[in-house]
Amino acid sequence: MASSATVTANQLIIMAELKLFRTWSSPFPLRVVWALDFKGIQYDTIFEDLSNKSSLLLQYNPIYKKVPVLVHNGKPLLESLVILEYIDETWKQTPLLPEDPYERATARFWAKFGDDKVLPSIWNVFIKQGKDQEEAIVTAQENLGFVERQLTGKKFFNGETIGFVDLAFGWLAKLLSLWEEVCGVTLIDHEKFPLLSEWIQNFADAPIIKESWPPRDKLITKYQALLEVYTSKEAPK
Amino acid sequence: MANEVVLLDFWPSMFGMRVRIALAEKGIKYEYKEEDLKNKSPLLLEMNPINKKIPVLIHNGKPVCESLIIVQYIDEVWNDKSPLLPSEPYQRAQARFWADFVDKKVYGASRKVWSTTGEEEEAGKKEFFEILKTLEVELGDKPYFGGETFGYVDLSFITFYSWFHAYEVLGNINIEAECPKIIAWAKRCLQKESVAKTLPDQKKVYEFVAQMRKRFVSE
């Protein structure tokens, strides 16, 4: 986030009227952080402890009780991809979605595929063991194969610059290698997924992404603990 | 190039119906192709190789998949009449949120009502009514979810109404008794030509669902 020393009066008002509820580690609010940072928009951050949710969060998101919540002029916005479209429509600089309707539909499709299929299939690889894990790996790599082909001839899913789909897949760029390390399975190797491997590098290296990413050692500890919870639930085979 | 619009669909699909309503609202001429989901056409597999599902809208040879994405596409391309989404960004975000809520919640819960038995079915019914009651609160005193006019959220949910009779018979529930506002809203939507002409006969849907139920439940 920009230093507060040089903000103008206008920016102070905007800052006071834009609040983002997030946790230190969840990748979904990070999409909103990136979108706002890419557009150079100032905002206040409220860090939530999901084991002890604030009354404000529950008031703004009574249905899902989750982060992110973006509050703009007192009005709450929920669901990270919905928030991204709102940000794109409200602040027109550095557009996240393309202008052409067909390209927009394509971008929305891939973001949804990422959330509905890719993420759950990779999470399954992380938490399962034995034969279940082997099957999960097949599904995950099939999904990743579709994603890989989307990068043909492009640096980012959006083309030359980072856009909506890149932000939607941001968790892949940063969390996947971490999960691979914690559970000891390699899903993306340079030979099978050369384009994805390169995209991961390019995305992770972008300054805004780098600056906002939670500390790696803290994340490793968190996911190691999570994995232990899942493995202790597994019935002996 | 002439506007060539083809819709790959399956008549009882509440997702396909959303696209049919959107096309009707905009007065778009299109070719309807009925898919046999047990024997998917090469065209469907070519146009949606990733999910292999209907609906697929093919516009001038290019496929658009996922019903709500298709509806937004239709709204953006044919933007000269009958807007489906609001024009103001916050209202658009609200519309997207609620349509997404319908997608995430209604199908899953309703499926438990007609395809399971015993405890799982009872849990499904409870969940189904909780979801409908949440939608009732959101509807409030408005004639439509969109406010004064039928819009994106109405479109995303009204298609499930064609399955309500099936849910009621197979699940032994009374939706009007539990959620009268939802039924009143649905009947209001049915006064629109685009909706009335799109939604299939509830009895026909019931017969279809009853057949499908046999695959899951032995009775």
Whole-number percent of chain A with pLDDT over 70: 92
Element of type H or E holding A63 = none
Residue A210 to residue A208: CA distance in whole angstroms: 6
Starting at the earlier edge strand, list the strands of the sheet with B31-34: B31-34, B5-9, B56-59, B62-65
pLDDT of residue A178 exceeding 80, the answer is yes
Short-list A160, A163, A188, CA closest to A174: A188
pLDDT of residue A25 exceeding 70, the answer is yes
Question: So what's the ipTM on this one?
Answer: 0.96
SS3 B64: strand
Mean of the per-residue pLDDT values of chain A: 92
pLDDT of residue A95 exceeding 50, the answer is yes
List pLDDT tens digits, range B157-187.
Answer: 999 999 999 999 999 999 999 999 999 999 9
Question: Given an 8 Å threshold on Cβ–Cβ distance, is B76 in contact with A75?
Answer: no
Q: Output the pTM of the full model.
A: 0.94
Instruction: For residue A72, give how far its alpha carbon lies from the nearest alpha carbon of chain B (Å).
Output: 9
Token pair, residue A133, equals: 């894990």
- Band (pLDDT 50/70/90 cuts) for residue A8 is low
pLDDT of residue A217 exceeding 60, the answer is yes
Report pLDDT for A184.
93
- Band (pLDDT 50/70/90 cuts) for residue A232 is confident
Average pLDDT value for residue range A159-181: 95
List pLDDT tens digits, range A45-81.
Answer: 999 999 999 999 999 999 999 999 999 999 999 999 9
Report pLDDT for A3.
47
Q: Out of B70, B90, B96, whose CB is closest to A75? A: B90
Nearest CA in chain B to A146: B50
Report pLDDT for B219.
60
pLDDT of residue A5 exceeding 80, the answer is no
Nearest CA in chain B to A75: B90
pLDDT of residue A13 exceeding 90, the answer is no
**Could you write out the three-class secondary structure of A174-217?**
HHHHHHHHHHCCCCCCCCCCHHHHHHHHHHHHCHHHHHHCCCHH
**Contact map slice: A 106-135 vs B, CB within 8 A:** 108-109, 112-113
Report pLDDT for A11.
53
Question: Given an 8 Å threshold on Cβ–Cβ distance, is A105 in contact with B101?
Answer: no
pLDDT of residue A231 exceeding 90, the answer is no
- Band (pLDDT 50/70/90 cuts) for residue A236 is low
Written as one letter, the residue type at B137 is: V
Q: Out of B66, B69, B89, whose CB is closest to A86? A: B89
Chain A with chain B: Cβ pairs closer than 8 A = 53
Instruction: For residue A90, give how far its alpha carbon lies from the nearest alpha carbon of chain B (Å).
Output: 7
Report pLDDT for B218.
72
Short-list B139, B215, B163, B210, CA closest to B16: B163
List of chain B residues with pLDDT < 70: 1-2, 219
Residues of B whose CB is below 8 A from A18:
none
Report pLDDT for B216.
84
User: Which range (A23-37, A205-219, A220-234, B129-143) has the least confidence?
Assistant: A220-234
Q: Out of B76, B93, B134, whose CB is closest to A82? A: B93
